[in-house]
Structures are given as C-alpha cells and as structure tokens.
Amino acid sequence: MHFPPFLAALVRIIPRLLFAPAAVYISFQVFEALVGERAPQWLRISAYLLVFPATFVTKLLYTQNRDRRHAGHHGAVIPPSIKYRWPGALDKLSALVWNFSNGYIAEYGESECEENGNTFNFYVLYENRIFTTEPEYIKAILATQFTSYEKGPVIYDQFYSLLGAGVFNSDADIWKFHRTMTRPFLTRDRISDFDIFEKHAEDAIHQMKIRMRQGYSVDFQDVISRFTLDSATEFLFGKDVCSLSAGIVYPPSSPLSKDPAFLNHPSNRFSCAFLESQIATANRTNYGSSWRFAEPWRDQVQKHMKICLEFVDPIIADTLAKKHEQRRLGLDAKEGMGQAKDGETLLEHLVNYTEDQKVLRDEAMNTMIAGRDTTAGTLTFAVYMLSQHPDVIARLREEIITKIGLSRRPTHDDIREMKYLRAFINEVLRLYPPVPFNGRSSTQAQIFPALKGGKPFYIPPHTMITYCVFLMHRRKDLWGPDADLFDPDRFLDERLHKYLTPNPFIFLPFNAGPRICLGQQFAYNEISYFLIRLLQSIDAVSLDMETQRLPPSDWAQAKGRKALEKVILRSHLTMYVQGGLWVRMKEVDPLDFV
C-alpha cells in the first residue's frame, strides 16, 4: 500500500508547522507565570491565527533580504523575477501548466525571456527557480562549475517514481557507479556492429511497405518507437522484446485499429503506460517541491509503472536465472568493475555486482528511456522534416546512392563519410532536441558572470535551475537571422564557423561535460543507419493530412517556427508528436535496383 503523496508531504512539514504554535504556547505560559494571570482569550486566539502568516512573511522577507545582501557582496544581483498578480504567482503557474498540456513547447518560457531576458527567476510558490537559455551559464552548470551543481533532492523526488536512483536521477557515487557500468557497452567496437539495427530496420520498413500497399498511411512515430525498443533491449539486455511482432497501428478511422489482440499486446500496454508515466512525471516539474499537492491522494506515476514493470521484470528475472545457473556451474567469475566480457550484455554485467531488484529495475528503466525515446524522437522529427523538404530527400538520396548504392548495408566508415547526412541529423537535433528541458540544483551559492555590460547574477544555494536547449537552439543572436528555418547546410557552410565553432555550447542535443550522453555515437549510428536503409527504399514522404492531428489554426498566425509547424509538438522527458506522425511514402521503382 502506497502512502498518499499529500499525506507524505504533510508528514515532512509537520515539524515546521508545529514549531510556530508551540513557540506561541510557550510564550503564553512564560507570560502567565511571570504576570500571574491568564492572557485574554481574544489575544490567545489572535496569536494562534496570525502566527502562521506572520512566520511565513517574516521568513520570506528575511530570505529575500539575505539573498540580496549576499549578491551585493559579490557585486551581483538576483536574476530578474517574473511579474505576477496572484499570491505565489499562481497566475503564472496556471499559464505554465496550460502551456504544458495545450501550447507550443517552451512558449511560456520564451515569452518570459522576451520580458525579462534570457535568464530570469521563475519565482512561483515562493521558491527561487532560475530559468536560462544562456550558453555561458549552461556551460558553467554542465562543465566549468560541474561540482557546484547536482540533480539535487527536488529533482530526485519528482522523478523517483519513474527513474528511481538510476543514472539520470542520481548524483555522486551512485551516478559514477552507473556511468562506470554502462561505459564499456558503448565502445566503438560494440556500437559499430550493425547486425541488430539491420534486423529490426528490415522488419520495420517491410511492415510499413505492406501497410502502405494496402492503401493506409502509417504512424511513423509508432513504428520507430518499436524499432528503437527492440534494438535497445536486444543490445543492452540481450533479449529482443519483439514489439514489432505485434504489428503496427492502423489509422484511427479504420475498424482494424480497435483489434483487442493488438491493443492488449504486452508491448502496446507498455508503450501506453510508459508514455503516461513520463507525462505525469514531467507535470511534477511545474510545481517544484510542492508537486505532491498537485496529486494529493495517489501517485500518478506509480499506477502506470506497475504496467511498465510487468514488461521489465521478466527481462530481469531471465538475466538473474541465467546468472544463478552460471553460478551453479561455477562459471560466474567476475571481471573488474567497468570491464565487460565479450558477448556480455549490460544487464548480465550488472548482476555480477548486485541482485537488488530495485537497482536492476532502475537501470533498465533509465537505459530504456535513453535507448528508445531519444532516438525515436529524433527519427520521428527527421521524417517530419523530410515530409516538408523534398529537396533534402533528393540530396540525401544522392549522397546515399553515391556512397553506398541502393542495396548495400552501410558500414561505420560509410556513415562517418556522409557529411550531408550528419548535417541533416544535426539540424533536426537543433530544432527538435530530444530533451528540450533539463535541470540542476546549486549545491552552494554561485555567481554567473556578467554578460554584455550587465551585472553578474547571484544564484543562492540549493536553487533549482532549468536550462532550455530548445529555446537556445533557436535564438537568432546565437544562430543567425534564419534560426527558425530548417537548413542542414548551416552545419556545412560559413555559418558553422561563424556561430557554432567559436561557441560550441550553443548546440547541446546530448548535454555536455561529465554528464554528456554516453550513447551519443550509438544514437548517431542508429539514426543514420535507419535513415539510409529507409531512403534506399523510398524517395518521397508526405503527411497524411486527413489522419494527422493538426495544430490549432491560430498557430499559423504565430511568430517564429510555430507558424510553420504541421504537427503538434509535446514533451514529457523527451519530445514527441501528439497523436503520432501519420505519413505516406513513395517506394523506389524496382527498376532502379537493376
């Protein structure tokens, strides 16, 4: 039985709540002992009623004055605070929550940046929460002042139901342990073996062709999520979960889309639950440390995680059973920490050091998000961009045909030599970074340096900081006046040397510093491999406008990239297309292979 989140929050704050009335009670007892008579009833009632707001306001004013004083000692200022009308900035919180569910990604943050600058204090529910799109500050957080920032207790608490103490939600020694265990499985030799990619890419593309020959469009986002799930589980766990074997979804208008056998397939139940668990987790970030009051009676992530674990636990059980059998046969000799035996999977390696079910679950869930969702999101937006830019398809196919032809499997060296393909992927990652928001907490007071004649910013200790690469990647002062436009050539022509080369921290699709994504090259290889195999088979992509869930009509009158969108962008931990990406593809003429 799980303790209701609201009650758990109350248990945490009860000692602080009781302190003030206890102090009032003791004060009256001392007063009455000294004076020899009881205080008037009206005074006692007034004191007990006013003690809470008085204590709150006093603490608030003291904290604000202390922070301003400390900032002044360093010649700095607190980042400008958002302007609000309601107590606790509840009007701003309401706007943020609405934007999360209904608006364009980061649109609320962008509007506050326009009013307050690229770094501001999102002072909601009386908590300092810094928001920034400034590459110099993000560089400090991720690299130059790395030890002064951590995930911290608030992020850990918000994400624990989903990620546990896994690599994406841990600090210090636990984080180092997970990194050490994972690193040997992402070496060049391992990620250059494309047999797994080939098997699942062939299956996925074959199923799409059959469905389109039947006259249907396909939800590419669904297909590619199955491809990345099957590839990731086989690569990391040694067991293909066969989500592609369930088939791919039919358009909602088709009676076949309601097939119970398909809907109840374990991989489909997992995918739905995994999506909902991430949405519920991301929603918590809107409320800071007070998230429990937004889901008072039931953990909104836990109910979905039960379904996810029904999918994950058998993988762990099989690995443990294999380990126990090896131990029985005397074949379980350990390698050194962080050293993997040939043919050993990540999970098999991990059970050499722990059989704790919670640790193994956390590792499985964290690596599955990394191996499935981020790559699937990038491939989804890549195909979305192909549907909008037929000229890009032509250039990509020209490069593929020149380097590889229409039938041969690409090698690691082939992919490395395909400059336009890499530029295309980078441009997708620029406009649609897999993780649009990320966060850290300051472990101690920090100073962000002054920029362009402004004053330095003082960051109080234990302050939450959200950095938004989604907005940073679209800033015209960082990327040029055409930053809103999709143009892979910006990674090949003079713009590369004008903007990115002198300031590499303006492009962070895989994070940076000690916590940079270990699977960066794995992701590039997987994305490149699938796109090559796909474009060897098709030469045109278009959105199925009758099936596709389209943005509201008023988006067309918006400014910037929003006006150009033909799909609804959403984000939980990673970016995705709401309602799927429904496309039609034109197969290459078989005579082209002759």
Which residues are known binding-site members? Answer: 517
Judge contact between 580 and 222, C-beta under 8 A.
yes
Kind and range of the H or E element at 437?
strand 437-442
459 Ramachandran zone, left/alpha/beta (phi>0; psi -120 to 50): beta
CA angle at 195 for the pair 192 and 200, rounded to the nearest 5°: 120
Helices (H) and strands (E) in the chain, counts: 23, 12
Q: What number of CA atoms fall less than 13 Å from residue 434's CA on the CB side?
A: 22
- Name the CA radius of gyration of the chain, rounded: 27
CA angle at 429 for the pair 110 and 226, rounded to the nearest 5°: 115
Bridge partner residues of 440 (DSSP): 465
| Binding positions for heme | 517
Alpha-carbon gap, residue 162 to 277, rounded angstroms = 7
**What DSSP line would sit under 308-370, residue for residue?**
HHHHHHHHHHHHHHHHHHHHHTT--PPPPTT---TT--HHHHHTTT---HHHHHHHHHHHHII
Residue found by looking up tokens 């307050």 in the block? 116
In angstroms, how far apart are the furthest CA atoms of the chain?
Answer: 108
265 — phi, psi (to 5°)?
-60, 135
Range list of β-strands (E), 205-283: 218-219
Judge contact between 416 and 458, C-beta under 8 A.
no
